[in-house]
């Protein structure tokens, strides 16, 4: 009973976060809300949805790291702990390399788009106006 209530409370909080964040900032991503910039994982959800609908090329364009995460999941499920630990380090390094490439060569196109309605910009503007 207690676990069910905790799960329900967590789901209600998550739904409230998604609603309020999207309403105020136009995004639910913490990185975009705080800094206005995407993180290396940006586009993974959309990539997974595209892959599930059969659009593999669109999925890779949205975030090419997704297939590597599938391999990691398989390693974890097969209990290959040592290989999985080393592999996830490779995936993290690769995701930052891909992110750097995308920022340099495709900034301003999906999913690497700056959101000017972010918390940092809001605070800076208000602090400047207060002076």
CA end-to-end distance (rounded Å), the chain: 53
Phi-psi region of 104 (alpha: psi -120 to 50; beta: other; left: phi over 0): alpha
Residue 108 has a pLDDT of: 63
Give the residue numbers spanning the domain of 71. 2-130
Query: How many domains is the chain partitioned into structurally?
Result: 1
Residue 107 has a pLDDT of: 66
Tell me: pLDDT of 106 over 80. Answer: no
**pTM of the predicted structure, to 2 decimals:** 0.65
Q: How confident is the model at residue 110 (pLDDT cuts 50, 70, 90)?
A: low
Residue 13 has a pLDDT of: 92
Give yes or no for a contact between 36 and 112, defined as CB atoms under 8 angstroms apart.
Answer: no
Q: Which of 108, 119, 112 is nearest to 20 (CA)?
A: 119
For residue 33 the two structure tokens come to: 């809300």
- Rounded to an integer, the average pLDDT of 27-48 is 86
Q: Which residue has the higher pLDDT, 112 or 35?
A: 35
């Amino acid at each position: 009973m207690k676990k069910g209530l905790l799960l329900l409370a967590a789901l209600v909080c998550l739904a409230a976060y998604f609603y309020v964040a999207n309403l105020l900032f136009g995004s639910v991503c913490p990185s975009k809300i705080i800094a206005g910039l995407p993180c290396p994982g940006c586009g993974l959800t959309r990539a997974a949805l595209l892959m599930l609908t059969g659009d593999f090329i669109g999925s890779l364009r949205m975030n090419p790291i997704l297939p590597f995460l599938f391999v990691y999941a398989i390693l974890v499920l097969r209990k290959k702990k040592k290989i999985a630990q080393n592999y996830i380090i490779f995936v993290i390094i690769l995701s930052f390399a891909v992110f750097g490439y995308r920022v340099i060569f495709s900034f301003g196109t999906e999913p690497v788009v700056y959101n000017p309605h972010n918390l940092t910009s809001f605070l800076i503007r208000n602090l400047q106006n207060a002076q």
